[in-house]
Amino acid sequence: MSESTSVPDQCRYVAVDPDSHHLSIALGPVPTPRADEVLIKVHSAGLNRADLLQRKGLYPPPEDASPVMGLEVAGTVQAKGEQVTDWQLGDRICALTHGGGYAEYAVAPVGQCLPIPTGFSKAEAAALPEALLTVWHNLFQRAGLQAGERVLIHGGASGIGTMAVMMCSAMGAKVYTTAGTVEKCRALEAHGATCAINYKTEDFEEILTGLGFNNKIDVILDMIGGDYIQKNLNLAAPEGRIVNIAYMRGFKAEVNFAPLLMKRITMTGSTLRAQTFAQKAVMVEEILAHIYPLLNSGKIKPLIDSIYPLEQVEQAHGHMESGQHMGKIILKM
């Protein structure tokens, strides 16, 4: 590395027992940044459902990634590789990591690093990278969402869902969303949704059809799958775009694809982790240009559900698995 402040040899991180999947705090070496990486002294890390899957062995990290869980962090720059020129030691930073975020120190590719927005705490900043890149890539890059279009966001109370509602609303779209309680629905409407539907007591397809929006939803972001697949096809407008980012109700469904043909619907999907560093760097550049002015002005701010100390990481995972959260769950080192 070309430049660093005092860095310990070891740091605490979250280890997973491969048999019981139990989590514990362990000591391991502090990672050394490569030429195009920064070393971050982590203040806070964001939880994601991918972490729950990785813990159970269902979402193995890429071969070149850290085996430690954690995909997004916020903290300060502690060291940097010799090719890094845009960041200085001590800078406040948040980043999408290539794993390793559940630790006191983590490295991140410089192309996946973002400044902490004006007025944001490090805990709030740790809620940004995964949600920002996921929403920007899927709704704006892949689906080409435009101001004035109608967008339906499933899983609206999740960290990604809440960010999607706020980003789409701020960018001029008409936002419809689904969530599991009346309280969550009202909160989403307060944060920019035109209409939030309680999927546990109402059929979102029936509600939107009753509002006159059958065949009129331009873009759909779906992390649910299963029986939602057919309903999405039915609601989509001609030339509509449906993007799947997860399948919490299952990858398989019996589907009538006639609407896809008749309405010329585009169906696509993606995962963020599998994409290249270069692809993610482009996302970061576009987010800095289009979304950061809204973050710095306070027009968009992530919803933080709860903050857990590192020692309570199992409780934090349990809270996410319960589905009771609204917004992001954060680990504090």
Mean pLDDT by 10 residues, the chain (333 residues): 79 97 98 98 97 94 95 98 97 98 98 98 98 98 98 98 98 98 98 98 98 98 97 98 96 97 98 96 98 98 98 98 96 97
**CA-wise closest residue to 104 among 48, 43, 24, 51:** 43
Provide the pLDDT for residue 5: 72
Does residue 229 sit in helix, strand or coil? helix
Return the CA Rg of the chain: 20
User: In sequence order, what DSSP letters do the residues of 277-308 get, joined into one string?
Assistant: HHHHHHHHHHHHHHTHHHHHTTS--PPEEEEE
Q: How far apart are CA 162 and CA 175, in angstroms?
A: 11
Q: How far apart are CA 33 and CA 109, in angstroms?
A: 9
Provide the pLDDT for residue 1: 46
**CA-wise closest residue to 274 among 137, 85, 169, 120:** 137
Alpha helices in the chain (DSSP H): 49-55, 122-126, 129-135, 159-170, 182-190, 204-210, 228-235, 258-263, 277-290, 292-296, 313-322
Q: How far apart are CA 126 and CA 46, in angstroms?
A: 5
Provide the pLDDT for residue 332: 98
In one letter, which amino acid is 298? G
Q: What topology does CATH give the domain 132-269?
A: Rossmann fold (3.40.50)
* Burial category of 172 from C-beta neighbours within 10 Å (exposed 0-12, middle 13-18, buried 19 and up): exposed
* Domain segments of the chain as ranges: 3-128+302-332, 132-269
Q: How far apart are CA 181 and CA 178, in angstroms?
A: 9
Its pTM stands at 0.97
- Sheet with 217-222: list strands edge to edge: 195-198, 174-179, 150-153, 217-222, 236-244, 266-269
Q: What topology does CATH give the domain 3-128+302-332?
A: Quinone Oxidoreductase; Chain A, domain 1 (3.90.180)
Length of the chain: 333
Provide the pLDDT for residue 2: 60
Alpha carbon 324 to its chain's center: 17
